Amino acid sequence: MLKYLVIYASETGNTKKLAEEIYKALPCSKKDKAIVDVRTWNGTMDAETYFVGFWANRGSCTLEIIDILSSINHRNIALFGTCGMGNDKSYYASLEQNASVWISDDTNFLGSYFCQGKMPEALRAKYESYRGKCDDYKLDKIMEIFDTAKSHPTREDLQRAHQFVNECCSQAKELMLAH
């Protein structure tokens, strides 16, 4: 059994970047950890602690991530991910809440870390096509968020991911010592 397993779903590369940073931050040798794209996940690896990452899909995670979260029992789980439209703590809290409902009660939930991620330019063009057809003020706000997201995940976002890993690993160690 591995000490840590990082599993992620990434549509545009943002969550993959975060997953790779989390993997690098894990405090153990390569033989005790692994990183897997959910699309290549076959369910054969097991770990004491899972870091499960996803891109925000309409305020939650994808079905493939739900399947993984609901299949892990008697382990530690931490969530992470990226979202284009929400650089907001309350939005991140709702992402955590919407995804963590799939974690079984016998599993230790260690917390979550989310940051903004850039979005595809095609999405910006789609938003622009709504000009004059909806509230332009709201559309301007959406475009502002889109433009801000272009630089994410930033170096600071990745540094916060390291801090998150340290916190989760300390918490997992404390839980192990308590048992």
Residues 86-128: pLDDT tens digits? 778 898 999 999 999 999 999 999 999 999 988 888 888 888 8
Residues 121-152: pLDDT tens digits? 888 888 888 888 888 888 888 888 888 888 89
Residues 127 and 67 in one domain: no
For the domain that residue 172 is a member of, what is the CATH number?
A: 3.40.50.360
pLDDT at 5: 98
Residues 6 and 56 in one domain: yes
Asked if residues 88 and 43 have their Cβ atoms less than 8 Å apart, the reply is no
Q: Cis bond leading into 27, ω under 30°? A: no
Residues 87 and 126 in one domain: no
Residues 86 and 24 in one domain: yes
Residues 106 and 147 in one domain: no
Residues 40-78: pLDDT tens digits? 988 889 999 999 999 998 888 999 999 999 999 999 999
Residues 102 and 88 in one domain: yes
pLDDT at 128: 82
Residues 80 and 59 in one domain: yes
Residues 146 and 66 in one domain: no
Q: Where are the beta strands (DSSP E) in the chain?
A: 2-8, 33-37, 47-55, 76-83, 108-116
pLDDT at 163: 97
Residues 73 and 141 in one domain: no
pLDDT at 120: 80
Query: Looking at the 3D structure of the chain, how many domains does it have?
Result: 2
Enclosing domain of residue 133: 119-151
Residues 78 and 113 in one domain: yes
pLDDT at 15: 95
The pair of three-digit structure tokens given for residue 111, joined into one six-digit string: 């917390």
Confidence of residue 14 (pLDDT cuts 50, 70, 90): very high
Residues 6 or more apart in contact with residue 46 via CB below 8 angstroms: 1, 2, 5, 75
Residues 107 and 65 in one domain: yes
